[in-house]
Structure 1
Amino acid sequence: MALINHIYFIPIGRKEIVAYRGICQECGYAINTDLNKYQAVVKSSTNEIPKLSRETFPNLTEYYADRLELEKQLKRDGGAFMPREERINLILEPFLLMERDVGENLLGETKFENLGIKSYISLGLAITFLLFACIFINLTIIFFLLSLGAFIYWLYQVFTYKSRWVEAKIYPKLVRSLKVIRPSKEELSECLKRLSPRMYHISKFVKVERLHTKLTQSPFQPKVL
């Protein structure tokens, strides 16, 4: 991950590497990683995991032995025979990981740059049509209505940004992360109840009913490894 100074999205200066992140190929979530753990860095993309492991992290299976064994168990039976508290802790993991993204994108005022190109276009059209309404007197009503419509759409983008962001960025990752353990609605409720008093903001945006519905609609075939 690199930082670079910019003025209105125009980069200036040189990039400065501040951290390295690993991206989970299952859920797509990026987490900080320690580059010192790796023997080498392979810049070319490859799907040959055993070969990649030998070149970059030869002791991968030993380093993550406990976690890999746990993952095998989950893929066999979804952790159905685990103690309840252990299941709850596993279900909590993706929520805790995604808390940072929620804080950066959803807390405080909506960042205008996060609204996307549609917001820029709609606001630009609203201003343009309003100017046309002032210039072309005989078409004032038409341009005023077009300006009003574009402005209303811009307001929609602003006021629904948070819910749309959660729908697009949080729910898919939670579903991909949790479908292997197949939590019940009661377990999801318990997790969110535990997060709320501890001031984890993700508990304010994720709805149990919505998440559980998405999980039940997501196909999952247990794999015996």
Structure 2
Amino acid sequence: MYRQTSGSFVSYAGEMFGKKGAFLSGWMYFINWAMTGIAELIAIGLYFQFFFPNVPVELSAIAALVLLVAVNLFSVKAFGEFEFWASCLKVAAILIFLAVGTFMVVTNAQVGTGHASVGNLFAADGGMFPKGGLVMILVLNAVIFAYNAIELVGITAGEMQNPEREVPKAIRAVVIRIVVFYVGSVTLLAMLLPSDQYHAGTSRSSRCSARWACRGWATS
């Protein structure tokens, strides 16, 4: 590690490129997270509207913003606690999906008009790459955006008591979580729902869950 500092890369930019370099890198990073926050609030509104169609996206997005600001203003400890339990809920939801999805693939369960199967990865309609391999390269920009925040491991290192031990441990944990939670869930989605049953405007996980749930209600 170059030098432990709470200013992270902004401090390094100041040392290497002067005050202007530090100013530019710091504000660019702020704008990045400001725009990311807006995108995530809109995503919250869209997901909320999926379950409650009569609620406007703007209303739920503003409500989420007010909640987050209130928690942040209350105390750092309160925000940390809130973030911890929110992360636990997210991880629990992903683990439940992985368990249920794996069970559906193993049992060849019916999802919509098709069946969950490993064969969906190599289906005649293109499987995981229905539009060709070039599209995978074109969407890398969105993928990089989705993995934004990995750099926080390095930023928080400036305030760690033992970064030489904690940073490698955190990096290994991040890699494992990406492989299991993200790569694993996307691969499982491709097994559950063929690409020709996906439509723009609806996430594959939501569409897959809705199709399976509707089938269960219809046959019960």
Scaled by the length of structure 2, the TM-score of the pair is 0.28
Bigger Rg, which one:
1
Q: Per residue, is there more helix in 1 or in 2?
A: 2
Q: Per residue, is there more strand in 1 or in 2?
A: 1
Higher relative contact order (CA 8 A, sep 6+): 2
